[in-house]
Amino acid sequence: MFVCLLIYGVVMAKTKIKEPKIQITWKEVRRQKVLLIWSAAIVLYGVIFCYLPLAGWAMAFENFRPKDGIFHSPFVGMAKFQQLFSDATFIRVIRNTLAMGVINLAVTFIMAIVFAILLNEITSKGAKKTVQTISYLPHFLSWIIVTGILHDALSGTGIINEMLMRFGMIQQPVDFFAHPGYFWPIVAFANVWKETGWNAIIYLAAITAIDPSLYEAAAIDGAGRWARIKYVTLPGIRATIMILLLMSVGNVLNAGFEIQYLLGNGLVQGVSQTIDIYVLKWGISQGDYALGTAAGIFKSLVSIILIVIANQIAKRNGEERLF
């Protein structure tokens, strides 16, 4: 949450730099009254929902007891962090979160771009609109529904097993949720299915902004479809790709909560639990709010570090960047 405000801030700052310098006068302020009110609302939102809750971080350094509150719980320094990192489960949970985060990022990111470009190549407007609408509808389904569908489809008597058996590819139904090895691919698949269409909208918007005369010129020079995608479309949306990639990198540790929580079971808990589930389990269920907060802080810090690193790399290579 903190990260998202940070990004928002730098994006705003960045776009501001590009504008010509304006002297701030009362007249100017009056003229931009509406804009100022709108941005004030957003700043206020950020302060209330992103910065004020940070005061709760104090809990991580206390042996927090709800009865005593933040001000009267005993201070324990870094003890909760030590406890956290000496717990083998937490280390495993970090691994799971990172792994699923990276896999999800890679597949949803690439699929969205590929899908947007493919969609752009469709010439019939009606077909294009229809496909686009259908493809982004799953975004509006909640995870509980998506996981319900997955659970049914992948069960022993579900459609996938039925089909595989009908085609003679397997003899016995495969119990997909009983094998730890299948869990990450299933999660990645669900993410792709749910979000590809939605994520592609941004790229489609960026593609629309490419000057059509570029395509004409390329066509005259003898560029086929493939060459036009490669030399016009991709470079045209490169800035968008970079910005979105940078933002997603900061989000890697938000690998998810609902899907893993809802699809997981005892057999696959070694690969299914993410940091968020750990926080729920030890922070909320076991009542160790301090430990949960410590895990949350760790997650935020790693996210910030990741985004700074990614930004530096982009900067070195002269790419579009956040700050």
Partner 1 sequence: MKRKKLLSLLLTAAMTVSMMAGCGSAGTASGTSESGSSAGTAAGSTSGASAKGEVKNFTAFFATPGTEINDDNEIQSLIAQKTGVKVKETWLTGQTAQEAVGTLIAGGEYPDFIDGGDGTQQLYQAGALVALDDYIDKYPNIKNYFTAEEWDKLRQDDGHIYWIPEFSNINGEEKTCTHNDEAFWIQTRVLKWANYPKIKTMDQYFDLLEKYNAANPTMEDGTKNIPYTILCDDWRYFCLENAPQFLDGYPNDGSVIVNADDPKNPKIVDYNTTATAKKYFQKLNEEYKKGIVDSESFTQTYDEYIAKLSTGRVLGMIDQWWDFAYNVNDALKQAGLDKQGCDYVPLPITIDESVQNRWHCSGGAFNNGAGLSITTSCKDVDGALQFINDLLDQDNHNLRFWGVEGKDYEVDKDGMFYRTPEERTNCSDTAYKASHLCTYSYFPQYNGTSKDGKNAMKPDGQASEFYDGLQQDVKDTFDAYGVKTYVEMIGTCEAPGPWYPMWSFSGSLTTATPGGTAWTKMGECKHQYLPKVVMADNFEDGWNEYMKAYNACNPQDFLSESQTELEKRVADAAKYSN
Q: Out of 115, 120, 283, 311, point to the residue binding partner 1 (CB under 8 A).
A: 283
- Is 53 one of the binding residues for partner 1 (CB under 8 A)? yes
224-251: burial string, b at 16+ Cβ within 10 Å, e else:
eeeebeeebbeebbeebbbbbebbbbbb
- Is residue 243 involved in binding partner 1 (CB under 8 A)? yes
CA atoms of 229 and 287, how far apart (whole Å): 54
Kindly state the smallest distance separating residue 178's Cβ from partner 1, in Å: 5
Terminal CA-CA length for the chain? 18
Among 101, 138, 197, 296, binds partner 1 (CB under 8 A): 296
Q: What is the CA radius of gyration of the chain?
A: 24
In sign, the C-alpha dihedral spanning 168, 173, 179, 183 is positive
**Distance of closest approach, residue 110 Cβ to partner 1, in angstroms:** 17
- Residue 99 or 258: the one with the smaller Cβ distance to partner 1 is 258
- Does 11 help bind partner 1 (rule: CB under 8 A)? yes
How far apart are the C-alpha atoms of 94 and 107, rounded to whole Å?
20
Minimum CB distance to partner 1 smaller for 223 or for 245: 245
Q: Per CB under 8 A, does 282 bind partner 1?
A: yes
Member of 257, 302, 308, 323 binding partner 1 (CB under 8 A):
257
- Rounded CA gap, 86 and 101, in Å? 23
CA 282 from chain centre, in angstroms, equals: 24
Q: Which is nearer to partner 1, 188 or 240 (CB)?
A: 240
Q: Exactly one of 150, 288, 311, 321 binds partner 1 (CB under 8 A); which one?
A: 288
CA distance 46 to 50: 5
Decide: is 39 part of the binding site for partner 1 (CB under 8 A). Answer: no
Q: Check binding of 235 to partner 1 (CB under 8 A).
A: no
Is-contact 191 107, C-beta < 8 A?
yes
278: nearest Cα among 295, 263, 262: 295
Contact call for residue 266 and partner 1 (CB under 8 A): yes
Other residues' Cβ atoms within 10 Å of the Cβ of residue 272: 25
Which residues here bind partner 1, judged by CB under 8 A? 1, 4, 7-8, 11, 15, 18, 49, 53-54, 56-57, 60, 65-67, 89, 151, 155-156, 172-173, 175, 177-178, 201-202, 205-206, 208-209, 211, 239-240, 243-244, 247, 251, 254, 257, 265-267, 269-270, 276, 279-280, 282-289, 292-293, 296-297, 299-300
